[in-house]
Amino acid sequence: MLYPLFFKPISKERLWGGEKLISYLEKPFKGEGIGESWELSAVSGDESVVSNGVLEGKQLKELIETYKADLLGKSVYDRFGDDFPILIKYIDAQKDLSVQLHPNDQLAKERHNSFGKNEMWYIMNADAGAKLITGFSKNIDQNEYQQYLENDQIESLIHYETVNSGDTFFIRTGTVHAIGAGILLAEIQQTSDVTYRIFDWNRKDKDGNTRELHTALALDAIDFSKRDDHKVKYDQKPNHRNAMVNSSYFKTDIIPLEGEVSINMDQLDSFVVLMAVDGDNEIIVDNNTYQLPFGSTVLLPACLSSFTIQANHSKVLMITI
């Protein structure tokens, strides 16, 4: 019998990483410059491992191969087979990330045998004045873009957006983007680790080397249009599922909790991922209670009939396919 599954977070040191994943989210990491906590991953070489119950020690891919639609949902398993379709992270940017983009499904498949990478950001904490880069500040074409790049003027072409806690963004494939310094966020994305870096602030790593840029690969992948729909508008009705992102890749709702909410899973035909992005929570499944503290993540298998979340003054992201 499947049950709510917790996984050991995977730490990722990054040039731009900080200490908030340890100090703020209380992740069990050691070291400095930890930029990412991979909460739920089936990326080859970085497979999540169960940390609770009788399945402790099992990898996510093993579970999918064993339980198939019972874990993922019939429609999800029919579509993706043994491939887990999303990657769940918490990200701490102490410094600016590089300006980058991700290829769409077609290009990613052709070049890297990978999914594309549409992604969503939920800002959990932001220093005063912290900013994201979301696309270009004007419509351009490939030739104009290359001129900006050759003249080292890319900074004047990109759109900056000041952010606050609770702000949410959906970043489509092809969109140039970057997480700015002083931002802690939850990220939901397609399962992909393919990134095309186009500008890295001319900085060098600890060995005095600049990081690789992917200028040529990026040209065919970039969306050169100016878009004003990256930021997501959503309601925050207490004790309800409020829709945030509804895409063909994943769906995310936010549940502001002031008491309890019960969710019937029979009609979802999908697994559920819950991310505790503000406050501590409890989940009740089959009369068993599980703690979902701030900064944690849980996978609820599709075969569960229902679950209840209870908390006061908390917010939970609910992700399905």
Q: Which of 315, 211, 299 is nearest to 2 (CA)?
A: 299
Indicate which residue of 197, 203, 211, 227 is catalytic: 197
SS3 135: strand
Beta bridge partner(s), residue 315: 256, 278
- Give the tokens for residue 49: 């491992």
Active-site residue 241, yes or no? Answer: no
- Give the tokens for residue 28: 């069990």
| DSSP-derived secondary structure for 218-286 | HHTT---S--S--BPP----TTS-EEEEE-SS-EEEEEEEEEEEEEE-TTT-S-EEEEEEES-EEEEET
- Give the tokens for residue 173: 């494939």
Active site residues: 197
